[in-house]
Amino acid sequence: MPQADQGHAMRFDEPLKLDSGRTLPGFTIAYATYGTLNATRSNAVLICHALTGDQFVIGTNPMTGKPGWWETMVGPGKPIDTERFFVICTNVLSGCMGSSGPASIDPATGQAHGLAFPMVTVADMVRAQARLIEALGIETLACVTGGSMGGMQVLEWMAKFPQRVGRALPIATAAHHTAQNIALHEIGRQAIMGDPDWRNGDYLKAGVKPSRGLSTARMIGHVSYLSEAALGRKFGRAVCSNARASFGFEQEFEVESYLHYQGASFVERFDANAYLYITRAMDYFELDSMTAFKDLKARVQGVSFTSDWLFPTAENRRICEGLKASGVDANLREIDTDRGHDAFLLEEPELFDLVRDFLK
């Protein structure tokens, strides 16, 4: 077992101009690394996390006490092999695991920024991340990878820093957030902002948390990350073993109990305002895949999953077609699985083989 990286944080005092037109006077990026950077600094793999992810890819997450979110993919001898590669993962700007965001402390007031924190886009997240990569003395990344919003960050790296990307592996993502995706996010945000404990975003000052709203938002997300087939296979219409047919509104079906568990454990580890900010960043995401990648020389391997209805194959194919039209060496692999969008986090041997081959 690799030792868990307890995480680092780097402070940047040079202002960061944001897409919104506002400027962050300074910011902190929290990150974790695994493996060893080689002498030529050429073996760095940047992993970009998804909406509810964090920098703790493997080992025990020091914030939650749980295993890292990509144990299946990363580690000694794993497809992203920490014996070969120096793996870096940063908590996104506006996240809640140590990077600057609505939950971080504003030094001017000694209190959480809350909604005073400026809105951040995926491009802003990547700009901040690029500062860290520079500060670590890494000119070119051997590979940039990530799924979902992680994949959006990969696309931003490809578009904005084409010279600094050796290979790119965007997984289950899209060049723009679709209307359905925006709709699902907005519903989650409404659940949070409708919770009276949200207090217009100032809940941390008041010592409360909009747990119920955040839990509901998480449930919506969770359903969208799975598939009808996966939910059917896992739960079907099974009734909780300790429940009678209650003919009431308690959790009675196992799928309800599962969702409540997902909601409750999420509110333990995630900040509600960060959820608002990051979902909004995804909603704003929009690259023109026909023109964005003109200067890219990297090899690109895209991945999609047949049962992913949130970031379906068609969206991933559009990226690949844009890349090819720009003369980029790009391929898309559609993996047949009924596990939905979350398949990239799960035991998917075809994905592991593909990544292993791609990084050879």
- Element at 332 (helix H, strand E): strand 330-335
Which x/- pattern, by CB under 8 A, does the window 152-181 give for a second copy? ------------------------xxxxx-
**308 tagged catalytic:** yes
* Residue 352 in contact with a second copy, rule: CB under 8 A: no
Query: Three-class SS of residue 306?
Result: coil
357 binds a second copy (CB under 8 A): no
Number of residues in contact with a second copy, rule: CB under 8 A?
A: 55
Beta bridge partners of 227: none
**Contact range with a second copy by CB under 8 A, out of 38-46, 71-79, 132-140, 187-195:** 187-195
Please report whether residue 125 would count as binding a second copy according to CB under 8 A.
Answer: no
Specify the 3-state DSSP secondary structure of 203. helix
The interface region with a second copy, picked from 42-50, 87-95, 254-262, 299-307 by CB under 8 A, is 254-262
**Is residue 253 involved in binding a second copy (CB under 8 A)?**
yes
Question: How far apart are CB 328 and a second copy at their closest, in Å?
Answer: 24
At 137, the amino acid letter reads G
The single residue among 15, 25, 76, 232 that binds a second copy, judged by CB under 8 A, is: 232
What CA–CA distance (Å, rounded) separates 38 from 40? 6
Name which of 146 and 340 has its Cβ closer to a second copy. 340
Q: Taking CB under 8 A as the rule, does residue 231 contact a second copy?
A: yes
Catalytic residue status for 271? no
Alpha helices (H) in 96-198, listed in sequence order: 122-135, 149-160, 179-193
CA torsion angle 75 81 83 87 (round to 10): -80
Judged by beta carbon, residue 4 or residue 239, the one nearer a second copy is 239
Q: What is the DSSP string of 252-263?
A: -BHHHHHHHHHH
Reading the block at residue 232, the tokens are: 């059917």
The question of whether 8 is a catalytic residue gets the answer no
CA angle 183, 185, 188 (to 5 degrees): 115
Identify which of residues 186 and 268 has a Cβ nearer to a second copy in the complex.
186
- Determine if 309 is a binding residue for a second copy (CB under 8 A): yes
Does residue 288 bind a second copy (CB under 8 A)? no
User: Which of these, 294, 303, 351, lies nearest to 324 by C-alpha position?
Assistant: 294
Q: From residue 195, how far is each of 215, 216, 221, 247 by CA, in Å?
A: 10, 10, 17, 27
Out of 1, 40, 65, 249, the only residue in the binding site for a second copy (CB under 8 A) is 249
Q: Is 208 in the site for a second copy (CB under 8 A)?
A: no
**Is 186 a binder of a second copy (CB under 8 A)?**
yes
Minimum CB separation of residue 213 from a second copy in Å reads: 7
Closest CA to 343 of 309, 296, 314: 309
237 lines the binding site for a second copy (CB under 8 A): yes
Q: Name the CA dihedral angle for 128, 139, 34, 94, rounded to a multiple of 10 degrees.
A: 10
Please give the distance of CA 87 from its chain centroid, rounded to a whole number.
16
Select which of 94, 100, 148, 215 is catalytic.
Answer: 148
89 near 57, Cβ under 8 Å? Answer: yes
Decide if 72 contacts 346 (C-beta within 8 A): yes
Q: What is the binding site for a second copy (CB under 8 A)?
A: 19-20, 22, 118-119, 176-180, 182-184, 186-187, 189-191, 193-196, 212-213, 215-216, 219-220, 223, 226-228, 231-232, 234-237, 245, 247-249, 251, 253, 255-256, 259, 263, 276, 280, 283-284, 286, 309, 312
